[in-house]
Structure 1
Amino acid sequence: MMTEMPSGFRGRIHRGTQQIGGTCVELEACGERILLDLGLPLDADELSETLLPDVAGLRGPDPALRAIVISHGHGDHWGLLPLCKPGVPVAMGAATARIMSAAAPFVPNFFAPDPAFELSDRRPIDIGPFRITPYLVDHSAYDAYAVLIEAAGRRLFYSGDIRAHGRKGALFERMVNHPPQGIDTMLMEGSSLGRLDADARFPNESEIEARLVESFGSPGFVAISASAQNIDRMVSIYRACKRAGRTLLLDIYAMEILRATGNANLPAPGWPNLSVYVPEYQRRQIKRTERFDLLEPYRKARIYREHIAEIGDKTVLLFRPAMMRDVQAANLWPKARAIWSQWDGYLKDGPGSKLKADLAELGVPFEVIHTSGHASIGDLKRLAGAIAPKALVPIHTFEGDKFTNFFQNVVRRADGEWWGV
């Protein structure tokens, strides 16, 4: 494929034209550059410098690389940041930075950022020749943004990861009704292509809550596997517990993530139907690292294993495989049920596959109650139609060749190919 002669504002996708995850887009204007996201590929076995894209300024100093703009807090969009040489300024949402910092003591290979620029809904920031306007969007990551980039008289819009069926779906409708205008190039995610029929839709978060209420209405202890950083899902699980007369048990990690959002409308110590359980592996970790300060905000809400054993059939535990022994010690598995409330692709191999096999061996019933963090094809069509870009470039998709079946003005790009915005 021939590379177009650059305009005053040009870009190239380093990773994303043929895969989901590991997203990175380099933009250049007036001899200066920024990156949109710097993600760890989903199929990466470990963090390795060999995964860094060929961008001047990531492995050594280059003042022309002005900033790395992180659209949201999922590792496939920020996961290579720890490998960058220090000194590259980072832009991200304030809540995203707090959540990442709150997760750092609990999650291997995590990263506590110190952003130089704060993304905030529809508040432009100027970095060198680039004017960057974030748009808060509905996604399974809290504080997620689409981004408008203006430079050299041209306008590029990056959808980031986006959907319309979460608890913040009104943000999607706002964008469709009041879209950015005059877009020359739109980079639009297409995660749902190949996963969903063209006329199908994903269940919305209210429907997920209703399914959880129905499931929680059956007797027995419930272990639910969900990402603590999927705040919409934490709200759905909590609301379902209240409606079903159950107590939700969250660990310190989940409580710290909720607290880091800074949102007073989210479950917190003292709320009804909520207790804090410190699993054995976290207790040992806190003792080893002497992070006893992590326990302090939750002392009055804390519940211990002995009490859980007594009231197990009226509780729902936010569960991860490291808690298996805790549940065994409380003798809760014989009358337990398990719910998987995240992407079912994680069940095909790795820890998810092992968990499913372990539960099957114990005879624990297992069901999946989940919805996607990405927009349906129908909603993507509404978004593309509202923005009406001169060129629509597929990104974050395995099915870029199918875009022309659904969207107008599609222009396919290759990883590493420079093109004029």
Structure 2
Amino acid sequence: MRRGSHEIGGSCIELACDGERVLLDLGKPLDAEDADPRLLPAVPGLEQGTDPQLRAIIVSHGHIDHWGLVPLAHTSIPLAMGAATRRILHAAAPFVPNPFAPNDTIDLVDGKQFAIGPFAITPYLVDHSAFDAYALLVEADGRRLFYSGDIRAHGRKGTLFERLLRDPPKGVDAMLLEGSSLGRLDESADFPTESEIEDVLVERLGTAGFVAIMASAQNIDRVVSIYRACKRTSRMLLLDLYAMEILRATGNPNLPAPGWPNLAVYVPEYQRRQIAKSQRFDLLEPYKAARVYREHIAEIGSRAVMLFRPSMMRDVDAVDLWTNARAIWSQWAGYLKLETGAKLKADLSSRNVELENIHTSGHASIKDLKRLAAALAPKALVPIHTFEGDKFSDLFANVVRRADGQWWEV
């Protein structure tokens, strides 16, 4: 492992066989503000592109702690990722700082094995808070390594986790198992399911007043939960262009789209300025019929639910919707400890609006991690993506600790 043996985020695994190498993920550490070249692991040829033996970088899913340093890698190195992940990165590019929009990637397809040099790689589509996330089975020289990536069982795609338990890869020599929930959750406890989050939202949306929900537009499961809760409470969900473009990029016709009931598109002032500056008026075209304007929000304010971010604060101020309003934080609580999170809480407090946390993890509970480890029964289980690697031996069989930068044989 190049990074990930003792931290959550910044994941990077280098595999070598017969002199050829691949990387599984190349993420930005959670505590890094920017993608700095000094954060790149010491992988020969990664930055210069001078080593033909570095055959590919394989990105398990679209969270920045798994791909965030890829833009710093040399463009000659082939990339592999899910097709929907690539489309989502492209869809996000007009709206985010330092966008990354790769082209000509190798597509990861659920259950479809592909070869890179001596490596045979089989992606397994998994349940995670990122859309189009994969675990990876890598075979080379008669050995088998399974990389869990980020995985859970309690989301809207939990059946994928159960499918993996029913038909796991056999003869796994080493398993790299994420442990994000260790230290955050008791061994016997469960995270709320996404359906339970929906039920809580229904309860909160049942009272009158404007509701601002702070959730990632790329957490498709959560957007679906919010939309379903709006339908159940006869509320109108307001999504901005960024959220709508992300939904469209998934390619899934079963996700909220223009023309669906209880859904409208609102373009906040900062996005209006972005579009005018970039001349990307094409982004407005698919949503003209579903679009609502500021004066209409004032009319429907008491039954409106907005997927909200701090840059929309002035839009809500302008139509004076904060009286009797609710604010819901629906993502990792750790972000609230950062400077931007503290400012958001202060800004809401100055408007007499409390911030309530309604969220569930994007990662598996300890109970589900144990079920996964038992199903695969690896000869060696290596902790990754965790701050609590020392606790693995108390929970799992055949645990072997490995350090960042340490080469070892599968």
TM-score range, shorter chain: over 0.9
Q: Which amino acid aligns with 1:360?
A: S
Tell me how far 1:350 sits from its aligned partner: 2.2
Task: Provide the rounded CA distance (Å) in 2 between the counterparts of 1:378 and 1:262.
Answer: 33
- Aligned partner letter, 2:158: G
Pick one of 368, 371, 390 that aligns with 1:379. 368
1 CA distance for matches of 2:116 and 2:200? 46
> Which of 12, 19, 23 is the aligned partner of 2:7?
19
What is the distance in 1 between the residues matched to 2:392 and 2:345?
Answer: 35
- In the aligned structure 2, how far is the partner of 1:334 from the partner of 1:216? 15
What is the deviation of 1:27? 0.2
Equivalent of 1:28 in 13, 16, 20: 16
Distance (Å, rounded) in 2 between the aligned partners of 1:139 and 1:165: 9
User: What's 1:174 paired with?
Assistant: 163
Q: Does 1:45 pair with 2:11?
A: no
1:141-196, CA deviations, whole angstroms, 9 ceiling, x for partnerless residues?
00000000000110000000000000000000000111010000000000000000
- Give the Cα–Cα distance (whole angstroms) in 2 for the partners of residues 59 and 303 of structure 1: 46
Q: Distance in 2 between matches of 1:86 and 1:134?
A: 23
Match of 1:227 in 2: 216
User: Structure 1 residue 192 and structure 2 residue 181: aligned?
Assistant: yes
TM-score by length of structure 1 reads 0.97
Q: Which runs of 5 or more residues in structure 2 are unaligned?
A: none
List aligned pairs for 1:13-412, cutoff 5 A.
13-60=1-48, 61-412=50-401
SS in 2 for 1:207: helix
Deviation at 1:351, TM superposition (A): 1.3
Shift of 1:357: 1.5
- Secondary structure, in 3 states, of the residue corresponding to 2:103? coil
Q: Which ranges of 4 or more aligned residues in structure 1 deviate by more than 3 Å?
A: none
Cα separation, 2, equivalents of 1:266 and 1:215:
23
Q: CA deviation at 1:115?
A: 4.1
In structure 1, how many angstroms separate the alpha carbons of the residues matched to 2:194 and 2:104? 31
Deviations 1:293-335 (A, max 9, x none): 0000000000001010111011100000000000000111122
Q: After superposition, what is the alpha-carbon deviation per residue over 1:197-227, rounded to whole angstroms, capped at 9, x for unaligned?
A: 0000000000000000000001100000000
Whether the 8 Å contact between 1:38 and 1:77 is mirrored in structure 2 is yes
CA distance in 2, matches of 1:307, 1:238: 19
Q: In structure 2, the residue corresponding to 1:15 is in which secondary structure?
A: coil
Q: For residue 63 of structure 1, what is the amino acid of its counterpart?
A: P
Q: Point out the more displaced range, 126-135 or 328-337.
A: 328-337
Q: Percent identity?
A: 71
- How many residues in Structure 1 have an aligned counterpart in Structure 2? 409
Distance between the aligned counterparts of 2:221 and 2:105, measured in 1? 28
Q: CA RMSD in A?
A: 0.6
The Cα of 1:239 is off from its aligned counterpart by 0.3
* 1:9 alignment partner in structure 2: none
**Counterpart Cα distance in 1 of 2:173 and 2:382:** 11
Distance 1:313 1:289 in 2: 34
Classify the secondary structure of the residue corresponding to 2:123.
Answer: strand
1:45 aligned partner, one-letter code: E
Aligned counterparts of 1:273 and 1:96: Cα–Cα separation in 2: 27
Q: What's the CA shift for 1:109?
A: 1.4
**Counterpart-to-counterpart distance in 2, 1:350 and 1:232:** 27
Tell me, in whole angstroms, the C-alpha distance in 2 between the residues paired with 1:278 and 1:62.
46
Say whether the 8 Å CA contact 1:97–1:115 is kept in structure 2.
no
Check 1:115–1:165 CA distance in 2 against 1; reply closer, same or farther (3 A cut): farther
Question: Would the aligned equivalents of 1:213 and 1:244 in 2 still touch at CA under 8 Å?
Answer: yes
Cα deviation for residue 365 of structure 1 reads: 2.4
1:8 aligned residue: none
Preserved CA contact (<8 Å) 1:92 1:115: no
Q: Secondary structure at the match of 1:131?
A: strand
- 1:364 CA displacement: 0.5
CA deviation map 1:273-303 (0-9, x unaligned) = 0000000000000000000000000000000
Contact map agreement 1:36 1:71 (CA 8 A) in 2: yes
